[in-house]
Structure 1
Amino acid sequence: MFAAICRRRLAALFPQIRGCGGGGSYHVQSNPQAALLFHSYSTTAVTGGPDSEPCPDTVSYLVSCGLSPAAARHTAANTPSLRIRSTEKADAVCALLRSYGFSDADVARIARSAPLLLTVDPDRIIRPKLDFFASMGFEPSKLSTAPLLLARSLEKHLVPSIQFLRGIIGTDDGIRRGFSRIPRALMVSLDNCMRPAVEALRRHGLTSSQDVSKVLVVQMGVLMLSPVRIGEIFEDLKAMGMSITDGRFANSFRAMCSMKRATWLRKVALYQSFGMSESEVFEAFKKQPTALLGADETIKKKALFFCDTLKFEMREVMANPVIMAYSFEKTILPRCAVLSVLMREGKINPDIQLLHALLGSAKTFSGKYVYRFAADVPDVVEAYEGKIKFEGFKGQDV
């Protein structure tokens, strides 16, 4: 109901917003206050710093927004133009955000990452953007991760950018899904970033809007990349035998967008250091791109565990590379602890196919190995919850 009201209000204000095309002008007044706000964040890193003396009243107000005292002092010190002595306007901003569905955690996130929003006129600057995003069904929790969108011009940036994306993706649902994954992608310049990125996608083979749309929905962050980097990603995917017609292309492209080329090459080399060939790494990546997205130390820790503790060859592990995307502390170790308890109690055979047993969703694993035996072996619940630590399959010929 609320979103519908916002749509009707915006339809009256911005009649062209319904269509994907059209070049009608939007009679929305540019707000100098919002422009100054947006500009201030590009200079804060130069003018501010940890040695700046924060305003006590500002620190106190930020704490009231949910920040810890240390975070409040850091935020105030690194935003030298921020002064909140009278709380009337800041209270109005927070109240407005909450009235549009922002949680206390969302407000705290905004106060920490874009505190100058607390000093602007909420009705003139913030409310029109909230109406705009609400009319499209954007989630407040996602907007809170890119709060400076609330300071961008509707006429000059937000509406033209959304129309551009509509012309490619076709539906607001697709735009919402893409935005929810990388909210800050909507911050970049339409002419300097978005258009060149889309042109680069087309130049490298994604000639249909449907192909471009699929990539943008799964990885809107591509709009933040330079045409040169986009070209490198196409080259690297081609080198590993990935065709743009492959059904796995979009997800592989998505993963490559999230790292620099040097990072990609380093991760390939890391897996090779555990005995895998380059082609084996490539095949594993195509099956499960997220297997190469972890931090180097995390990948190394998992690989050493499988190779040194569980005595597997890395190529055996990477035959099902999804296992390398599991959390080591929250998934792999507790599951090993559960299986160890069950072996000790004679509920499962030590010659079980261990890697296969470790795979599957939390629901599948817990149903098969935890709740099934919980009545007879209460320790499996303790092990699954991490209360019984895995110390190896002692005396068990796994």
Structure 2
Amino acid sequence: MLASICRRRLAIPLAPVLAGGGGGKNPIHSSPVAVLLSHGYYSTAVAAGPEPCPATVSYLVSCGLSPAAAAARNVRIRDTNRADAVRAVLREYGFSEAEITRTVRQDPVLLNFDADRIIRPKLDFFLSLGFQPRFLAAEPHILARSLDNHLAPCIEFLRSILGSDECVRTAVYRVPRALLADLDNSMRPAVEAFRRHGLPEESIAKLLLIHLGVLMVPVDRIAEAFDDLQDLGLRVTDTGFLYGFRVISILKRETWVRKVALYRSFGVCEADLLRAFKTQPTILLVSDESVKKKIRFYLDVLKVGIGDVMAQPMILSLSLEKNIMPRCAVLSVLMREGKIERKLNLMPALLSNLKVFSARFVWRYAKDVPDVVKAFEGKIKFQGFGDREFELLSH
């Protein structure tokens, strides 16, 4: 579900929702948009199958699967020579042994296909479009789809919207599973729904580049997502609308409730959460553990107020280990050496792009203070600023 931070949703008391007990009606269920993404169209349920074939299990183990994983696959390898040919073709097109194992693990039925008549033409097709065929290891089920009846028409449809093979590649590389969506029952209806709700053609193209998986969102949920974003005050022409749509269209109800409760547990008020979402919708896609770790670091180590964190929500999307802590280590070294003043606009420094930060704080002092390079590379760990003081500005 979601309506993630929709005003009418945030007004709902979280305690009874999270408790899940009592015989009363869940207040969220009475909301007009209470069941966003409720049916979970990425179901992982698997029906019970027949007893595994020992010969098939043995062959799958030879492909790199564990005995347990091989036994769990509901498939029978009919011809090991044909299976060997499929694996040979994948190697020919650049698949590593690990990628072949991954492919077999996810879709062992492919081993029963004719390598030259069925698999090779599909690999050639993607190669002709500029794809590295090995990208299919991320979603090998694509190789089970018909080239003439599904893959080629879907690619042509995407090209008609995105405008070039390069853009098609970018979109598909980001979300390969989107190519599994049915053209007439999913892709076309989704795009038509975007148009009906006033999304301009250039915005539709950008949305598909951001996350091609939106083509798998049911039409009724697309309508609900537009309603929720409108309630948030986001218009289709606003910069954050497309990113907000991506988030709202994929979050389930339970996830939304949990995320809101998590932020509120740190004292984030409704207004600040709404403002942060509109600025950086992807904060609701950050894992719970990552959010906790980051907020605790900002509050306890950097002594930054929760209001300052939520005023710059991008900082919640940045990696502590790869981005924030190395920068803090650099600033700490420079402060220790007296190269920068104790009063510093900390948040802008942490949020500046890599080129700007490295030019201003690393390469500028690299000769005089070699430790800044080590700190920037993560070789000197950040231990805190001690009693050093930073000036925090909201602008």
TM-score of the aligned structures, taking structure 1 as reference length? 0.76
State yes or no: 1:248 paired with 2:250.
no
State yes or no: 1:78 paired with 2:79.
no
For 2:103, the equivalent position in structure 1 comes to: 110
C-alpha distance 170-348 of structure 1, shift in aligned 2 (>3 A):
closer
For 2:183, the equivalent position in structure 1 comes to: 190
State yes or no: 1:100 paired with 2:93.
yes
What displacement does 1:323 show? 1.5
Q: Is the 8 A contact 1:57 1:85 kept in 2?
A: no
Tell me how far apart the structure 1 counterparts of residues 237 and 247 of structure 2 sit (CA, whole Å).
Answer: 17
Tell me how far apart the structure 2 counterparts of residues 181 and 170 of structure 1 sit (CA, whole Å).
Answer: 17
What displacement does 1:111 show? 2.7
For 1:176, the equivalent position in structure 2 comes to: 169
For 1:366, the equivalent position in structure 2 comes to: 358
What displacement does 1:327 show? 0.6
SS at match of 2:311: coil
How high is the sequence identity, in percent, across the aligned residues? 50
Residue 297 of structure 1, aligned match among 275, 289, 310: 289
Greater Cα shift, 223-232 or 281-290: 281-290
C-alpha distance 224-391 of structure 1, shift in aligned 2 (>3 A):
same
CA RMSD of aligned residues (A): 3.0
Give CA-to-partner distance per residue, 1:185-238, whole Å, 9 cap, x none: 1102223322332333233333x5444333223221012112232223212211
Tell me how far apart the structure 1 counterparts of residues 353 and 55 of structure 2 sit (CA, whole Å).
Answer: 48
Tell me how far apart the structure 2 counterparts of residues 357 and 166 of structure 1 sit (CA, whole Å).
Answer: 40
C-alpha distance 383-129 of structure 1, shift in aligned 2 (>3 A):
same
For 2:280, the equivalent position in structure 1 comes to: 288
**Structure 2 unaligned residues grouped into runs of 5+:** 1-43, 391-395
Tell me how far apart the structure 1 counterparts of residues 385 and 235 of structure 2 sit (CA, whole Å).
Answer: 43
For 1:230, the equivalent position in structure 2 comes to: 222
Greater Cα shift, 320-329 or 88-97: 88-97
Tell me how far apart the structure 2 counterparts of residues 310 and 123 of structure 1 sit (CA, whole Å).
Answer: 60
C-alpha distance 331-212 of structure 1, shift in aligned 2 (>3 A):
closer
C-alpha distance 305-52 of structure 1, shift in aligned 2 (>3 A):
farther
Tell me how far apart the structure 1 counterparts of residues 389 and 329 of structure 2 sit (CA, whole Å).
Answer: 15
For 1:18, the equivalent position in structure 2 comes to: none
Counterpart amino acid of residue 59 in structure 2: T
C-alpha distance 56-194 of structure 1, shift in aligned 2 (>3 A):
closer
SS at match of 1:318: helix
Residue 197 of structure 2, aligned match among 191, 204, 209: 204
C-alpha distance 387-162 of structure 1, shift in aligned 2 (>3 A):
closer
SS at match of 2:184: helix
Counterpart amino acid of residue 110 in structure 2: L
Tell me how far apart the structure 2 counterparts of residues 196 and 102 of structure 1 sit (CA, whole Å).
Answer: 35
For 2:307, the equivalent position in structure 1 comes to: 315
C-alpha distance 85-389 of structure 1, shift in aligned 2 (>3 A):
farther
Q: Is the 8 A contact 2:329 2:381 kept in 1?
A: yes
SS at match of 1:186: helix
Tell me how far apart the structure 1 counterparts of residues 292 and 327 of structure 2 sit (CA, whole Å).
Answer: 19
SS at match of 1:389: coil
For 1:351, the equivalent position in structure 2 comes to: 343
Tell me how far apart the structure 2 counterparts of residues 95 and 245 of structure 1 sit (CA, whole Å).
Answer: 50
C-alpha distance 339-126 of structure 1, shift in aligned 2 (>3 A):
same
C-alpha distance 393-169 of structure 1, shift in aligned 2 (>3 A):
closer
Q: Is the 8 A contact 1:337 1:384 kept in 2?
A: yes
What displacement does 1:126 show? 0.5
C-alpha distance 326-85 of structure 1, shift in aligned 2 (>3 A):
same
Give CA-to-partner distance per residue, 1:47-80, whole Å, 9 cap, x none: 279x9978564244223xxxxxxx5334312214
**Structure 1 unaligned residues grouped into runs of 5+:** 1-41, 64-70
Give CA-to-partner distance per residue, 1:94-114, whole Å, 9 cap, x none: 332233343444334323322
C-alpha distance 380-73 of structure 1, shift in aligned 2 (>3 A):
farther
What displacement does 1:394 show? 1.8
For 1:47, the equivalent position in structure 2 comes to: 49
Q: Which has the higher contact order (CA 8 A, sep 6+)?
A: 2
What displacement does 1:148 show? 1.3
SS at match of 1:395: coil
Residue 89 of structure 1, aligned match among 79, 82, 85: 82
Give CA-to-partner distance per residue, 1:318-365, whole Å, 9 cap, x none: 333221111122222222222222222222222212222222233333
What displacement does 1:300 show? 1.8
For 2:25, the equivalent position in structure 1 comes to: none
Residue 329 of structure 1, aligned match among 321, 339, 346: 321
Q: Is the 8 A contact 1:89 1:118 kept in 2?
A: yes
State yes or no: 1:61 paired with 2:62.
yes
What displacement does 1:269 show? 4.2
Q: Is the 8 A contact 2:154 2:179 kept in 1?
A: yes
C-alpha distance 48-387 of structure 1, shift in aligned 2 (>3 A):
farther
Residue 124 of structure 1, aligned match among 93, 117, 141: 117
SS at match of 1:216: helix
Q: Is the 8 A contact 1:92 1:122 kept in 2?
A: yes
Tell me how far apart the structure 2 counterparts of residues 249 and 369 of structure 1 sit (CA, whole Å).
Answer: 34
Tell me how far apart the structure 2 counterparts of residues 361 and 288 of structure 1 sit (CA, whole Å).
Answer: 16
Count of paired positions:
348
Give CA-to-partner distance per residue, 1:126-166, whole Å, 9 cap, x none: 01212222222233243221111111112332233334334
